[in-house]
Structure formats: C-alpha cells, structure tokens
C-alpha cells in the first residue's frame, strides 16, 4: 500500500514539472507585443529670412585726434600768468600763457631808438650827398672856365700874342681844375656810398625792431588750434626755455572735430577687399570714400557715428601682417574722445540677397554645420549648410538652403533625423543696428577734411576768451612807457 502511494505521488510530480517546463518553453518562444507609437515632438519652426543686405566687417579701432600740439614757448623767460581752464575747449588764437614781457619791451624800445638814430644818419647822408653834388657843379663850372681860358691862351701863344709865363699859368689852372673835378666826383661817390650804408643800417635797425616786436608778441602764447586743452605742466614763476627743440612744454591740445579712427585689418581680409575691387563688386577704398560706421564700447550692437575711409597704408606691417586703415568721423557733439577704443564697421561685400537664420537653429556635428528641415509629412531631415558672418543678429547661410524651407528654430536637442514633429510657426526678425543696406561711396560734397578751427563751440563748452577769471594783458606800448620812465603805473621803480 505504501509503495503504490509513493509511486502515484512521484507520477503526479513528474506531470506537474513537465507541464511547468512546457509552459516556460512556450512563453520563451512567443513574440512581445509592439510598443505604442511615439507622439510627435513639439518644436518651434520658421522659414529662413531672405533679404538684401551688405556684409559689414567689424574691426577694433582707436579714436585719435587729427591734430596734436605740444604748446611750447618761442622765447625764454619767466612764466608770468596762465589764462586757460584745464581740460576745457580752447579756440585757435586764445591766450593761454604770458611770459614776463619787460625785457622784451625794453628791447623793443632800444631798437626803436636805434631806428631813429639810423634814420637821422640817413638824412645826414642825404644832406651830405646834396652838398657834394653842389660842390661838384661848382668845380665843373670852374673847370669849364679854366678849359676855355687854356684853349684861348694856347691859340694866342701860337701867334706869339701872349707871353710864355701867362700860357703856363693858364695850363696849370686847367690841370688843377681837372684834378679838383675828379676829387669832387670822388667825394660825391663817397657821399652816395655813405648814404647807401646809412640806408642799409636803417633797414637793419628796422629788422631788429621787427624781431624785437615779434619776440614781444611771442611772450603771449596763444592756442595754435581749436581743441581740448590738457593740464598745466608749468606754473607761474618758473623759467621757461623757448625757441629750441628742447623748449619747455606748457600743455597739450588735441583737435576734436573731425576726428580719426585707426584700425588694422588682417591679411586675409585685405586680400578679400582686393578681390572684391578687382571683380567690380566694391569701389576701391584708395580712390573712393567708402562709408564707415563706428560705435564705442558702451554702444552695444549700435554704430551711430558715420564717416568714411580716409587713408590706407602702402604696405602691410611685416611684424603683424596687418594693413593699417584710417577713418574720419564728424564729432560736432564732442562725444568721441581721443584714446577711446571703438568698433569699426566697413563694407565687406556688395549688396545681394542673403538667406539668414538664427544661430540657435544651427547644430554642430564635428566639422559640419546643419539645420533640421521639416518635410510635408511632419518628419525632419538634416541639411548641411555653409555659414557666413552675422548680420543684424542673424547668421548668413551661403549654401544649403533656398529660403523656402521650413526649419526647426528651437527644440533641436529633442529631435533627430526622421523624427515626427508638430511645429509652432514663428517669424524670424532682424535686429536694427543702424547700418544701411548698401555700400555706396560717400559723395564728394560730403567728404570730411581738416579740423574746422573757426566752427562754433558745442553748447555748454567752455570758451577761454569768455572766462571771467582771465585778467587783462598790459599792452606793449604801456610796458615801453613804463621802461622809459623807469617806473610802472603804480609808482614802483623798475
């Protein structure tokens, strides 16, 4: 009984195990159900912007003055006064400093006296010449009488009508009259030479007087240009050295309107401009005035200062392989200060229709740049593109797009080729940077030239000629009067 019970239990276990393993085998050989389809991915899309533009190349430049002057004295002496406000605008001819004029006024007085002496000597020489000319006429009359008497006595002597003694007396008188005439004429020549010498001495005295007056004028140091003046480098009471290459620098002045902007273009950019000019796509900057737009560092993405090219160097710098260029800009509001860094834009192409996309719509795959194009069935494909520079906040696409495609603008990280998407349309817009859409040369009547020294000052600018702190300058005639009298007008001995 027990044996049959154990056998039945064993058989039941085998049947159960066989059924379990059969179930496992059947489960392993069956296919899993397919996953549910993914929903379309939401992205923002739009069509590339196709519009006419000019590519504006950007360089870093520095604002520089057209004229920079070190104000130096032309005569030596002690600095007596200064008449300018440091850091303010001065105009050409404004009085800046005064050197002690008294020694130079004394020199003017002395040379004026020398001129008077020379003029009196000229008058005396003229009188001597007139006197000598009268004496010559008197001697000529006597010589004429002696000559006639000599001829008469000579005829009478031939006829034995006059004694030999009387003939010899007449002959002697004739010879003496000849000698007297030569002496008188020589004296006249000497008088004329003395008169010429006196006239030359007068001219020399006048020249010395002119130099003395010029030196006296140089005591008043005036602004040679219109511009902004620096600080005082020398204070009153110091000895000023003037008239030499090592003359004392009193201050400096820089012109402000118009103003230069220097910049350097790399060799590759220079060769691009040469090619554009050769192909007729760009005017030659050496023969035409190409437009230039400048913005300083705090004017982000804006270039409000408009000028034109003024100069291109004749060679590349052998050390940096760059070409130096120069633009000239109007600066009537004096907002541009020498020394400022600036961003310079100049045309790097002719006007053409460009395709523009945002930088966010461009993906990178090693060395390739691509965009995702949405097909009509909602799938996306990768399109490799060739890019250009930025223009008004958008990237120029040189090759790869026609401008009619619908591309993904945002959401590139969530999609891959052949993905299904649902697109929300967005219009691509350009930023305004103040740059024109053409690169025409500046007309000749709008060319900028040298600084306008006689232009009106900007509103609120300081004019040193109107300063209430500027004392009046004693004129040269007053100084000479003081020197001649030995006392100044306050009664003090000089």
Q: Are 483 and 109 in contact (CB under 8 A)?
A: yes
Check pLDDT > 60 for residue 481: no
Neighbour-count burial of 31, counting CB atoms closer than 10 A to its CB (0-12 exposed, 13-18 middle, 19+ buried) = exposed
Q: Looking at residues 166-185, what average pLDDT do you find? A: 79
Contacts of 487 (CB under 8 A, 6+ apart): 493, 494
Check pLDDT > 80 for residue 237: yes
At residue 460 the predicted structure's pLDDT band, cuts being 50, 70 and 90, is: very low
Q: Looking at residues 378-391, what average pLDDT do you find? A: 90
Per-residue pLDDT reduced to its tens digit, 92-102: 999 999 999 99
Residue 414 vs residues 363, 408, 411, 435: alpha-carbon distances, Å: 12, 11, 6, 37
Check pLDDT > 50 for residue 340: yes
**Who has greater pLDDT, 245 or 59?**
59
Q: Looking at residues 317-341, what average pLDDT do you find? A: 93
**Of 45, 43, 48, 44, the residue nearest 357 (C-alpha):** 48
**Measured distance CA(101)–CA(98) in Å, rounded:** 8
Q: Looking at residues 352-374, what average pLDDT do you find? A: 89
Task: Please name the CATH architecture into which domain 68-101+219-254+463-485 falls.
Answer: Beta Barrel (2.40)
**Length in residues, the chain:** 494
Residue 15 vs residues 2, 3, 9, 20, 21: alpha-carbon distances, Å: 20, 19, 10, 9, 10
**Who has greater pLDDT, 251 or 31?**
251
Per-residue pLDDT reduced to its tens digit, 255-290: 998 999 999 999 999 999 999 999 888 888 888 899
Instruction: Specify the pLDDT at position 384.
Output: 93
Query: What's the per-residue H, E or C state across 146-202?
Result: HHHHHHHHHHHHHCCCCCHHHHHHHHHHHHHHHHHHHHHHHHHHHHHHHHHHHHHHH
Q: Are 371 and 357 in contact (CB under 8 A)?
A: yes
Instruction: Specify the pLDDT at position 311.
Output: 92
**Measured distance CA(482)–CA(195) in Å, rounded:** 35
* Domain 41-55+257-441 fold: 2.40.420
Of 138-142, 183-187, 238-242, which has the strongest mean pLDDT? 238-242
**425 pairs with which residues across the strands?**
45
Check pLDDT > 70 for residue 6: no
Phi then psi dihedrals of residue 57, to 5 deg: -75, 145
Structural domain boundaries in the chain: 41-55+257-441, 68-101+219-254+463-485, 103-218
Q: Looking at residues 329-335, what average pLDDT do you find? A: 91
Q: How many Cβ atoms are within 10 Å of 352's Cβ, its own excluded?
A: 10
Per-residue pLDDT reduced to its tens digit, 423-441: 888 888 888 877 888 888 8
**Of 257, 260, 240, 258, the residue nearest 249 (C-alpha):** 240
Tokens of 288: 């035409």
Instruction: Specify the pLDDT at position 83.
Output: 92
At residue 326 the predicted structure's pLDDT band, cuts being 50, 70 and 90, is: very high
Do the bridges between strand 305-312 and strand 322-329 make them parallel or antiparallel, or are there none, so unpaired?
antiparallel
Contacts of 282 (CB under 8 A, 6+ apart): 273, 276, 290, 347, 349, 350, 439
Q: 40-57: buried (b, 16+ CB within 10 Å) or exposed (e) per residue?
A: ebebebbbbbbeebbbbe
The pTM of this model reads: 0.70
At residue 5 the predicted structure's pLDDT band, cuts being 50, 70 and 90, is: very low
Instruction: Specify the pLDDT at position 143.
Output: 77
Helix (H) or strand (E) holding 394, with range, is strand 394-399
Check pLDDT > 60 for residue 487: no
Mean pLDDT, the chain, whole residue set = 82
Q: How many Cβ atoms are within 10 Å of 246's Cβ, its own excluded?
A: 9
Q: 154-167: buried (b, 16+ CB within 10 Å) or exposed (e) per residue?
A: eeebeeeebeeeeb
Instruction: Specify the pLDDT at position 485.
Output: 46
Check pLDDT > 60 for residue 309: yes
Check pLDDT > 60 for residue 111: yes
Check whether the bond before 240 is cis (ω within 30° of 0): no
Q: Are 331 and 255 in contact (CB under 8 A)?
A: no
Check pLDDT > 80 for residue 467: no
**Who has greater pLDDT, 65 or 187?**
65
């Amino acid at each position: 009984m027990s044996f049959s019970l154990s056998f039945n239990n064993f058989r039941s276990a085998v049947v159960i195990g066989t059924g379990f393993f059969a179930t496992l085998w059947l489960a392993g050989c069956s296919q899993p159900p397919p996953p549910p389809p993914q929903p379309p991915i939401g992205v923002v899309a739009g069509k590339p912007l196709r519009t006419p533009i000019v590519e504006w190349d950007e360089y870093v430049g520095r604002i520089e003055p057209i004229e920079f002057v070190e104000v130096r004295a032309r005569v030596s002496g002690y600095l007596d006064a200064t008449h300018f406000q440091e850091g303010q605008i001065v105009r050409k001819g404004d009085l800046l400093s005064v050197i002690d004029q008294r020694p130079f006024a004394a020199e003017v007085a002395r040379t004026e006296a020398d001129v008077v002496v020379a003029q009196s000597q000229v008058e005396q020489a003229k009188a001597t010449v007139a006197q000598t000319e009268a004496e010559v006429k008197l001697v000529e009359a006597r010589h004429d009488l002696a000559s006639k008497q000599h001829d008469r006595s000579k005829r009478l002597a031939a006829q034995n009508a006059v004694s030999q003694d009387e003939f010899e007396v007449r002959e002697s008188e004739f010879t003496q009259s000849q000698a007297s005439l030569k002496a008188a004429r020589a004296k006249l020549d000497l008088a004329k030479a003395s008169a010429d010498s006196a006239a030359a001495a007068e001219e020399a005295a006048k020249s010395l007087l002119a130099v003395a007056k010029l030196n006296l004028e140089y005591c008043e140091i005036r602004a040679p240009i219109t511009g902004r003046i620096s600080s005082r480098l020398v204070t009153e009471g110091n000895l000023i050295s003037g008239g030499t290459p090592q003359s004392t620098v009193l201050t400096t002045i820089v012109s402000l309107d118009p103003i230069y902007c220097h910049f350097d273009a790399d060799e590759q950019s220079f060769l691009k401009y040469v090619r554009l000019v050769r192909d007729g796509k760009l005017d030659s900057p050496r023969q035409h005035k190409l437009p230039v737009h400048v913005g300083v560092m705090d004017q982000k993405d804006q270039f409000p200062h408009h000028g034109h090219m003024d100069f291109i160097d004749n060679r590349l710098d052998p050390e940096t392989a760059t070409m130096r260029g120069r633009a000239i800009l109007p600066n009537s509001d004096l907002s541009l200060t020498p020394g400022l860094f600036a961003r310079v834009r100049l045309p790097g192409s002719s006007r053409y229709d460009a395709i523009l996309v945002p930088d966010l719509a461009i993906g990178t795959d090693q060395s390739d740049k691509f965009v995702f194009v949405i097909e009509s069935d909602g799938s996306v494909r990768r399109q490799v593109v060739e890019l250009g520079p930025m223009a008004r906040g958008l990237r120029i696409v040189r090759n790869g797009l026609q401008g009619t495609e619908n591309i993904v603008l945002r959401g590139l990280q969530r999609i891959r080729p052949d993905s299904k998407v649902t697109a929300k349309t967005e219009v691509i817009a350009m930023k305004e940077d103040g740059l024109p859409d053409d690169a025409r040369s500046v007309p000749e009547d709008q060319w900028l030239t040298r600084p306008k020294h006689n232009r009106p000052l900007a509103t609120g600018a300081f004019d040193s000629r109107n300063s209430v702190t500027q004392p009046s300058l004693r004129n040269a005639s007053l100084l000479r009067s003081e020197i001649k009298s030995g006392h100044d007008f306050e009664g003090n001995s000089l």
